[in-house]
Structure 1
């Protein structure tokens, strides 16, 4: 396979220039200008952008347990339509990956039904209770790539300390959700002027910041790495920047919605804007964009959380958190940040390819010769209107419904094989 005549943007190799990409036996064989490959199938990339395939560190596929929300089949189709070639699957309350049986089930089902690569993320604690460690070694042997209690914070400092110590023995990255549940209490959105006007209990940003600071101290004192997943406040950004400047091994991710929206989106009690962590102020939003631009926050993760209609069409305080975001993540960011000049395209691509691959320890997110040929070809000029009823995902909960966006994948290859071609899922 020869991807011919495109603009190749590969941040992992500091490459941004016209080039061809030659793929042989499922691997990247060569990247450069005017490649001749006799007998190879040629895919014309003229006028298109060629990047490593996107990799998402925070996706909820909900199978087994909540197939009414999503399945591995529907979720990975949505991923391909969003330009992703790999997703890291997190636990949900109904499907906790705290034992090898669940991890192995997901791997088998993904091999059968998955359109893109699926990597299970095990739980830190049994039942994501935050009390007793899961069998981390068992999870590693079963194929878990990392461990996280997802949006259930490990509030007990002693438990988190043990998790960091033991996970290092099995080379399992720990992805920590920075939230103090006592400070968050019964809050349902950002604590501020908008929450007061709506009469809704708020979550103060300090509820995030105190746990972020705790993880910095652990990473420094234990000599281990911690990944904050995800962050939402300007003061958390300052904490991360302070730690990294002092050599602490710390990384963090942010969601597209926290980069693009503020708590004003909750006005009118719009439950599609109810997420965890919550949408915060424009000052927080701008600080997060700046942190991605300068690399302080290295990863952008969709936090794809499809919900049923019933879970969202209820009063705001009772509505489920989450956005079904795989199909809009890149396009919304490209339209809302790159085209407006807030974020360089190179930084956007890096945060969705090489950076998440590094956090998870994967040889992906790069067009380096010898790497798996996971590639996305983008039509950046392609303009489209978000229609949640046309989603491949079962989730219809997306705040960008009806918006005009630019940027869609023309082709997606996983291991050198088309899974999306000419904008249509090919498997």
Structure 2
């Protein structure tokens, strides 16, 4: 048996656990063998880990219309460098991705770039204006994998209910930015001791939990009314949870059997509102960074599975925009290239978080939400993989990012676990072996 790449002595880690070392032979887009064989190229992987490629359910690539901030090429290159083989792009572009032809255009261009695979999300409502539903069937046929008005909150519960029913009939989950606009008002950071001391308008934790509570009632209403209930996938997905109270509501609803899912971001797992003491807009994000108690709760939620996956909410802006003062700077943190080493270092190395669970939240979790099968390290499996080094320690240097957003709140942090090689169906889409 002859393949294209042989990973010698690789430590295998997937969602099912750590499986010791093996000689992994890759060819024809699949894992051919775990016991070696002949290959055109041999990669010595002793001391390095091989895992299924990461899947990001929530990223902003800004194309079309905002390419000065990011474009498909730079965004998909950044994703591949971060160990991601798959990425879902958000539709809040210029114009909004709310038509089938826009979805097809994105997929066709991404295929030509040949880096991480692109799975476009499309808008739930036309123009993301929250009023008229988009054509879910046509969007699905064009290749959209979920519907969302991300970037805007869904204020009309009736429109959301209709959208959930319509999307469910075509096998599409709906993702929501769960935040009550009335409670949020003009908040630029978490409402609490830090915002009061700084005299800045705050966004209370209850803006998130109040909207989650409403949306859960909408899900109950729709779920009871559906004649055919989709099994094994999410009806409603909550994006970027940031609060302990919001997590409690999600946890209880899951125990009741509601078909929901939720994600958490790297920044909400590692940063708090205290980082805004210096008024640095690099830490300005929506929903805002919360308290350490919220971080602790979110880590526990990720461990137990109330939070299904890690999603980056990669949100690049120009350096000029992020250099404005805290009131005027845009919300958003770029993180595609650092998400895995950041959480491997901060959670696994420092806190003893189970490695296989973290891998699961980067791989199986997001795939399950979209109704996709998992990728495990076994013969015959799709060879969409990432080789990463648990011992290689490197300082975050945004100047070397592939993303156009060459700034980071983690600049200067020493992190381990950097991806070295990313394969999509056996094709090398990033190589950082030195």
CA distance in 1, matches of 2:115, 2:406: 20
Matched, 1:25 2:28: yes
Alignment partners' CA distance in 1, 2:212 and 2:353: 25
Is the contact between residue 55 and residue 365 of structure 1 (CA under 8 Å) also seen in structure 2?
A: no
In 1: Cα distance, 2:300 partner to 2:346 partner:
14
How far off is 1:49 after superposition?
0.6
Give the 3-state SS of the residue equivalent to 1:277 in structure 2.
Answer: coil
Instruction: Note if contact 1:125-1:132 (Cα within 8 Å) is conserved in structure 2.
Output: yes
Of residues 411-420 and 86-95 in structure 1, the stretch that sits farther from structure 2 once superposed is: 86-95
The 4+ residue runs of structure 1 with deviation greater than 6 A are none
Choose which of 330, 336, 340 in structure 1 pairs with 2:340: 330
TM-score (norm 1): 0.95
What TM-score, normalized to structure 2? Answer: 0.93
> Contact 1:230/1:254 (CA < 8 Å) preserved in 2?
yes
The 8 Å contact of residues 146 and 175 in structure 1, kept in 2 or not, is answered as: yes
* Two-structure CA RMSD over aligned residues (Å): 1.6
| Cα pair distance change 1:292/1:139, threshold 3 Å | same
How many pairs align?
Answer: 420
Give the match for residue 247 of structure 2: 237
- TM-fit CA distance, 1:41: 3.4
Q: Secondary structure at the match of 1:288?
A: helix
Residue correspondence of structure 1 range 296-307 to structure 2 within 5 A: 296-307=306-317
Structure 2 residues not aligned, in runs of 5+: 224-228, 230-234
Q: SS where residue 417 of structure 2 aligns?
A: strand
Shift of 1:310: 1.6
Task: Provide the residue aligned with 1:96 in structure 2.
Answer: 96
**1:118-169 deviations in Å (ceiling 9; x for gaps):** 1100111111111211111111111101111112111110010001000011
Find the partner of 2:284 among 274, 286, 294. 274
- The whole-number CA distance in structure 2 between the counterparts of 1:61 and 1:95 is 13
Structure 1 pair 61–114 and aligned structure 2 pair: CA distance change class (3 A):
farther
Is 1:254 the counterpart of 2:264? The answer is yes
Partner of 1:79: 79
CA contact (8 A) 1:8 1:20 kept: no
Does the CA contact (< 8 Å) of 1:322 and 1:397 recur in 2? no
Deviation at 1:311, TM superposition (A): 1.1
Alpha-carbon distance in structure 2 between the residues aligned to 1:206 and 1:369: 48
1:335 and 1:156 map into 2 onto residues whose CA distance is 41
Give ranges in structure 1 of 5+ residues lacking alignment.
none
Partner of 1:59: 59
Q: Distance in 2 between matches of 1:215 and 1:29?
A: 45
Deviates more, 1:251-260 or 1:193-202: 193-202
Taking the aligned partners of 2:378 and 2:173, their CA distance within structure 1 comes to 24
Asked if 1 retains the 8 angstrom alpha-carbon contact of 2:62 and 2:93, the reply is no
Q: Is the 8 A contact 1:72 1:114 kept in 2?
A: no
1:5 to 1:215, Cα distance in 2 relative to 1, 3 A: same
Q: Secondary structure at the match of 1:164?
A: helix
Q: Aligned-pair distance for 1:24?
A: 2.7
Moved more, 259-268 or 36-45: 36-45
**1:380 alignment partner, SS class:** coil
Task: Report the equivalent of 1:144.
Answer: 144
Are residue 178 (structure 1) and residue 178 (structure 2) matched?
Answer: yes
Contact 1:120 1:144 (8 Å CA) reproduced: yes
